[in-house]
Structure 1
Amino acid sequence: MGRHPGCFRPNDYTSTMAGSNPNDQSATADVTAAPQISGFIMKMAGALLLLTHTLFVDALEVIKVRYPVPESEMDLRYEYPKQLLKLALEETLSSHGAYEIEGAKIRASQTRNEIFLRQGFNIDIIWRPENGSLDENFLPIRIPILKGALGYRVFLIRQSDQGRFHSIKTLNELKTLTAGFGHDWPDVHVLRANNIPLELTSDYEALFKMLITERFDYFPRGINEAWDEYEQRHPFLPELKVEDSILMYYPLPVYFVVNKSNKKLAQRVEVGLQKAIANGGFDQLFFSHHQSMLERANLSERKLFILDNPFLPESTPKGSQYWLKVGLDQTQ
């Protein structure tokens, strides 16, 4: 069968050149070497691309991230945010380069850590509940790292007082009792705005002892906190108990927060968190830490008292992917 004049096969070039002069060995050698040269060039190009990529990754600055450490050895609240931060950095390893992550050298209260962060000293990132003024002093990454769990509050109480809490039917009745709280905790303003009587202190560990010694009546704790705190302290505070009938709720997102000038870290953490949300890694980590607590909280069986949070800005994320899905009915 004949070939179309325009049809060209890979060996036509070789056969034509070699066939034109059977004695011309140099022409044959040159043509035979052509594929080898082409392959060599392709290999060199590939190696150059690989080298360029390697140099690009190496050229990315190794980012150092210092996170706060607990004030108390028994304080387990910092473990999950630390692991979530590491997940966000891992998710951006290929795009943003290597990182180093380490605990701060100095243990400090929330207030001191905020001062350190503004000064760029000792710490590079913290996590804080929204208080309506985060943007004034910091650069918040507005992805709720606890999916709103901190706003679901159960109470630590004295075991002998459980009957008193069982008898409470309304929020106004609850307001006849006094809550213990940290004086510099961001959501203390939410409780004040809702006229919750408070006994305040700057000493986190002291709150548990103050409860047992009847300095106040109950200690509102996030459902992500209460049972760890109870189990850590019950051996030497046997009167301590997680109250089993009331749930207080107010919307309370918690965000990673960085120094206002550290836009590079903020952008990287935000990208990493969004990637983790999209691929399921965020929820997997969250529920691996909190699923058992959610089950123990038995939320649907509790009397629900909802507080208003007047400090939420318009920038608060609304997407359902950021929040716990909990169906509850409000108590009067």
Structure 2
Amino acid sequence: MRSLRQTLAALLLAAVSSTAAANITIVHPEPRAGSALDLYAIDLIEFLAEKSGESVTLQAFQGQIGSQSRKVEMLKQGRLTVDWLGADRTLESELLPIRYPVFRGLLGHRLFITNQATEPKLAQISDQAGLNSLTMIQGQGWADVKVLQSAGFRVREISSFENIFKGVDTGRADLFPRALIEPFSELAERPQYTNLLVDPHLMLIYRFPMFLFVSPQNPEVATMLNDAFAAAYQDGSFIEFFENAPLVKETFEKANIGERTFIRVDNPHLSNETQAIDDTFWLDIESR
């Protein structure tokens, strides 16, 4: 027969285990300097955590991460719980994708950060062929690289996010394609690059969602986020969250969408599951 001490110890252990199970810690990357996108993604995770009704603690990873390739490895290992990344088949097979486009597809609506010398050339371009003579620059391991290369563009990869801005500022590259929601806040944070501007003439468009990706070591977090996203779409609260986000509002105030030439290219690198996402979850940019 169990002693009273053994029984109390077992009850205490069960209580501790129950408490631990009820509290979920989500480790995410620290937001990059000037990245309103990163802050939006963290706010979204907080919103979904609240929607889930679970007890969740968000924690920024302490330490250097580096390139996206490095972040993906850390997700596989479980050192990061979640990150927000552009989707492609490889990432979707290696990690646990939450297949609700974080920005309703705006990640695939690209404006160009460029320099004073290149901007006048963009004013003369009206189709994809006109961009082929210009050099684009992207981060190492970004899913966009494959999309842009498949479309025939000349693309350089750089591991340092800050050095991308320096490369365009000094003329070592012509264009830094950024999602519609990114370039204005990024340049506002970097006034030292006086040669940089957001091109007012063009928008490059391809089907390209940003997903929340969860570590394979944390399937319970993936289930929680999936269920919360589904509930937030069902009751309309995600659309409200999206439309009221300061980043989204500011983007549509500054982007002058109606004055731009749209250049559309295909994205052959999405999984069948992502290609099958219903149109309900994508924003129709031409309706804005």
Q: TM-score normalised to the size of structure 2?
A: 0.87
Name the structure, 1 or 2, with higher relative contact order (CA <8 Å, separation 6+).
2
Match of 1:324 among 276, 283, 287: 283
Deviations 1:117-169 (A, max 9, x none): 11112x11112211112233111111111111110001011134322111112
C-alpha contact (below 8 Å) 1:117/1:259 kept by paired residues: yes
RMSD: 1.8
Q: Which residue of 2 aligns with 1:299?
A: 257
User: 1:78: which partner in 2?
Assistant: 38
Q: Deviations over 1:27-65 (max 9, x none)?
A: xxxxxxxxxxxxxxxxxxxxxxxxxxxxxx968521111
User: Are 1:69 and 1:107, in contact at CA under 8 Å, matched by a contact in 2?
Assistant: no
Indicate the residue corresponding to 1:241 in structure 2: 197
Identity %: 27
- Contact 2:112–2:176 (CA under 8 A) maintained in structure 1: yes
Equivalent residue, structure 2, for 1:215: 172
Q: Aligned partners of 2:184, 2:112: CA distance in 1, in Å?
A: 10
- The answer on whether the counterparts of 2:34 and 2:185 sit within 8 Å (CA) in structure 1 is no
Q: 2:128 aligns with which of 153, 171, 189?
A: 171
Change (3 A) 1:135 1:208: closer
Verify: 1:262 aligned to 2:218, yes or no. Answer: yes
Which residue identity does 1:75 align to in structure 2? S
Q: Indicate the larger mover: 277-286 or 174-183.
A: 277-286
The letter of the residue matching 2:222 is A
Cα deviation, residue 203, structure 1 = 0.8
SS of equivalent residue, structure 1 residue 133: helix
Which residue number corresponds to residue 238 of structure 2? 282
Counterpart contact for 2:138–2:157, Cα < 8 Å? yes
Q: Which runs of 5+ in 2 are unaligned?
A: 1-17
Is the radius of gyration larger for structure 1 or structure 2? Answer: 1
Q: CA deviation at 1:225?
A: 0.2
Which region of structure 1 is more displaced relative to structure 2, 184-193 or 109-118?
109-118
Tell me, yes or no, if structure 1 residue 133 matches structure 2 residue 90: yes
Aligned to 2:186: 229
Please tell me whether the aligned partners of residues 128 and 254 of structure 1 are also in contact (alpha carbons under 8 angstroms). yes
- Give deviations 1:184-233, integer Å, cap 9, x for gaps: 11111001111101122111111111111110111111011011112111
Q: Which residue of structure 1 aligns with residue 75 of structure 2? A: 117
Distance in 2 (CA, whole Å) between partners of 1:268 and 1:66 is 15
Asked whether the 8 Å contact 2:101–2:281 carries over to 1, the reply is yes
Amino acid in structure 2 at the alignment position of 1:265:
V
Contact 2:92 2:271 in 1 (8 A): no
> What is the aligned partner in structure 1 of residue 65 from structure 2?
108
Q: Residue 327 of structure 1: SS of its match in structure 2?
A: helix
Q: Answer yes or no: is the 8 Å Cα contact 1:224–1:290 preserved in 2.
A: yes
Aligned residues: 266
Alignment CA distance shift 1:311-1:212 (3 Å):
same
2:137–2:157 Cα contact (<8 Å) kept: yes
- Within 5 A, what are the aligned runs for 1:49-88? 61-70=22-31, 72-88=32-48
Structure 1 unaligned regions, length at least 5:
1-56
Following superposition, the deviation at residue 285 of structure 1 comes to 2.3
Q: 2:3 aligns to what? A: none
Q: Distance in 2 between matches of 1:203 and 1:266?
A: 29
Residue identity in the other structure for 1:205: E
CA contact (8 A) 2:78 2:216 kept: no
**Equivalent position amino acid for 1:69 in 2:** E
Letter in 2 for 1:227: F
User: 2:51 is matched with which residue: 66, 74, 91?
Assistant: 91
